Amino acid sequence: MPSQPEVDHTASAVILAAGLGTRMKSALPKAAHPIAGRPMLRHLLAAAEQVFATITVVVGPEMDGLARMAAPHPTAIQHDRLGTAHAALCGSENFGGGEVAILFADNPLIEAATLRRLLAERRSSGAGLALMAMRPADPARYGRLVVEQGEHGPTVARIVEWADATEAERAIPLCNAGALCGPADRLLGWLRQITPDNTKGEYYLTDLVRLAVADGARVVAVEADEAELRGINSRAELAAAEAVVQHRLRARAMEGGATLTAPDTVFLSHDTELGPDTVVGPHVVFAPGVRVDGPAEIRAFSHLEGCHVQSGAVIGPYARLRPGTVVGLGAHVGNFVELKATTLGAGAKANHLSYLGDAAIGAGTNIGAGTITCNYDGFNKHRTTIGERVFVGSDSVLVAPVALGDGSFVAAGSVITADVEADAMAFGRARQASVPGRAAAFRAGRKTGG
């Protein structure tokens, strides 16, 4: 495999993440909303960590949860939300002496290669400022980049906000995507010159272009695809970003050798691992923390989270694997079976309508339909240990803590409350009694009203 490019030790980044997400109508900070099982902020950090030596995240007051998401990177607090330039200044103590990029947490899909290109084109062009730009299918209310031909090539003369643009300017297809970079000293100087001369009385980061041009610096636009640069300010835009990420993840899974029989119906998490020759049926959901060793089969309408499925296993349809579950080599988990914090040994089977929680189940064991482990007493969770080659009959209830020895047999319909030794047969049900003729007498009595 080709080696990954190294982090640029002269470059730092400031991520602006103090937004409240007002348009989302949520108590959750905007940057904490998840895409593919990971907060927006963590998506952007994953890319930025491959490029920048130091990263500072600017959060708002009382955003302790978001600060924890940023760890181990330092945070700066924007106590008063006075605009994007003000937020960037809040993180300026960590600018360093080299290149600085200012990124937005609500632009979480930028890839590391694009961030490297932003730095490289700023340097190679000799520009004082480089801006990320895009040509969206629907430019809507994005700010437009007015580009003119300068002495050293095309240069961004100004950014025109949609509300202030003429009809001709609104027709410009090139839009501002927000992210930018420049030398730390010049960037800091321009930031300090920004004034709140606008209707909102805020300090706008876009004013950097005007100040840079006035200072004789060239400003260049670095274009990338809208799918990477789209902003997220509403639930609809969040859903659109989810679709972009799911498309990427599905493509990556299939390139890695997995078969998705109906790709658009399968939902993956950012960390889903599907080994070669894994076959995934329609309408399967992978929550975070799932690893499937190929070859394996995940059948339709199954839900997996925080689990490990080993080679040769068959899961579903309609199965649920919860965190802490390991399904062993060649094991089968069938329809309407739920496993939680359970190890199902090699070749073991639980094929129908069972709940197995906090259990260790040995190789070759068969769990009959309707079996449940009673693992919770209202206060504590308890373990069930089932040995190898055990047969548990249908509709059995195993009341933990309890252990079934190797080769033991549990009769159908049993309630097991005590350990069963190896190769023993356990009956935990009331003795059946039959009264000859009683059914006929019962029916006769009903007919006569007796």
CATH code (residue 209): 3.90.550.10
Residues 188 and 280 in one domain: no
- 410 lies in some domain: yes
* CA gap 198, 178 in Å, rounded: 19
Residues 208 and 257 in one domain: no
- 70 lies in some domain: yes
* CA gap 358, 289 in Å, rounded: 18
- Are 94 and 54 a contacting pair, CB within 8 Å? yes
* CB count in 10 Å sphere of residue 201: 10
* CA gap 179, 194 in Å, rounded: 17
Last residue of a domain, one of 185, 207, 229: 229
pLDDT for the residue numbered 140: 79
- Are 313 and 351 a contacting pair, CB within 8 Å? no
Number of domains in the chain: 2
Residues 157 and 15 in one domain: yes
pLDDT for the residue numbered 308: 98
Identify the CA nearest to 194 among candidates 179, 184, 209. 209
- 224 lies in some domain: yes
- Are 310 and 322 a contacting pair, CB within 8 Å? no
| Single pTM value for the model | 0.89
* CA gap 117, 391 in Å, rounded: 61
Range of the domain at 410: 235-426
- 437 lies in some domain: no
Q: Give the single-character DSSP code of 142.
A: P
Largest CA distance in the chain: 109
pLDDT for the residue numbered 151: 78
Residues 172 and 248 in one domain: no
Query: Mean pLDDT, 10 residues at a time, over the chain (450 residues)?
Result: 74 94 88 96 97 96 94 95 94 90 96 96 94 91 88 87 86 94 95 88 91 94 93 93 96 98 98 98 98 97 98 98 98 98 98 97 98 94 98 97 98 96 93 88 80
Write the burial class of residue 427 (CB in 10 Å: 0-12 exposed, 13-18 middle, 19+ buried). middle
Residues 91 and 18 in one domain: yes
Residue spans of alpha helices (H) in 133-234: 167-170, 184-193, 207-214, 226-229
CA distance to 11, 126, 186, 214, 280, per residue, from 217 (Å): 20, 9, 10, 7, 54
Residues 110 and 240 in one domain: no
* CA gap 65, 71 in Å, rounded: 10
Apex 417 CA angle, 414 and 423, nearest 5: 70
What residues form DSSP beta bridges with 101? 13, 181
C-alpha count within 13 angstroms, C-beta hemisphere, residue 381: 8
Tokens of 138: 């629907």
What is the 3-state composition of the chain as percent helix, strand, coil, each rounded to the nearest 5? 25, 30, 45
pLDDT for the residue numbered 299: 98
pLDDT for the residue numbered 450: 59
Tokens of 382: 């308890």
- 434 lies in some domain: no
pLDDT for the residue numbered 1: 46
Q: Is 352 a catalytic residue?
A: yes
- 433 lies in some domain: no
CA distance to 313, 359, 395, 406, 433, per residue, from 344 (Å): 10, 8, 19, 14, 37
Residues 141 and 17 in one domain: yes
User: Which sign does the torsion angle of CA 276, 281, 286, 289 carry?
Assistant: negative
- Are 223 and 133 a contacting pair, CB within 8 Å? yes
Length of the chain: 450
pLDDT for the residue numbered 29: 93
Q: Which of 270, 283, 352, 382 is catalytic?
A: 352
